[in-house]
């Protein structure tokens, strides 16, 4: 089951795409769990291996209570890496609950079917993982720790605090 108030949420996604910004913004607006980002490509030949590595590394970290695997929409070919057998097996074998937020509402990847929870988008994945701020008097920033590719621990030199976006 997905924890109600996760303190640490692992995120496997591209560090430069819109999905990570949406996850951070949504998590910040709802409940400030600490986000631990494992950077992974969201498409291409190298993507399945990086996604699998991210899931496995985050799954081994005791403090991570749930993992979001996500990427924004794209063509069927763009999203194909999330239907790769290695990714699907990693999702199914993880002991940490996984929320799959791949694509947009009409997209379905096979990893969606192996996950503990399927969210229609990366934004919905962050929403389903965090109750509203009103449910627990919460501080106003979300800590995000970024893991270096190939690392098994987050880099303290890459720790960042994300404040709400300016309107």
20-42 residue pLDDT tens: 999 988 887 777 789 999 999 99
103-151 residue pLDDT tens: 887 778 899 999 999 887 888 888 875 555 444 444 444 445 555 555 5
Given its phi and psi angles, is residue 103 left (phi above 0), alpha (psi -120 to 50 degrees) or beta?
left
Cα→Cα distances 65→12, 78, 108, 145, Å: 14, 29, 24, 15
pTM recorded for the entire structure: 0.78
**Is pLDDT at 18 greater than 50 in this prediction?**
yes
Tokens representing residue 57 in the block: 């590394």
Query: Phi and psi at residue 138, in whole multiples of 5°?
Result: -110, 150
């Amino acid at each position: 089951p997905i924890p109600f108030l996760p303190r640490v949420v692992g995120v496997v996604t591209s560090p430069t795409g819109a999905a990570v910004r949406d996850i951070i913004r949504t998590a910040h607006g709802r409940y400030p769990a600490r986000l631990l980002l494992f950077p992974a490509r969201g498409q291409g030949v190298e993507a399945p291996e990086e996604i699998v590595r991210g899931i496995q590394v985050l799954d081994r970290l005791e403090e991570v209570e749930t993992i979001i695997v996500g990427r924004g929409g794209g063509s069927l070919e763009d999203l194909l890496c999330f239907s790769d057998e290695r990714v699907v097996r990693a999702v199914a074998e993880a002991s940490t609950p996984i929320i799959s937020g791949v694509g947009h509402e009409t997209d379905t990847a096979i990893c969606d079917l192996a996950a503990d929870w399927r969210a229609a988008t990366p934004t919905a994945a962050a929403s389903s993982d965090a109750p509203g701020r009103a449910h627990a008097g919460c501080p106003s920033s979300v800590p995000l720790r970024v893991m270096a590719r190939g690392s098994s621990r987050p880099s303290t030199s890459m720790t960042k605090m994300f404040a709400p976006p300016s309107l």
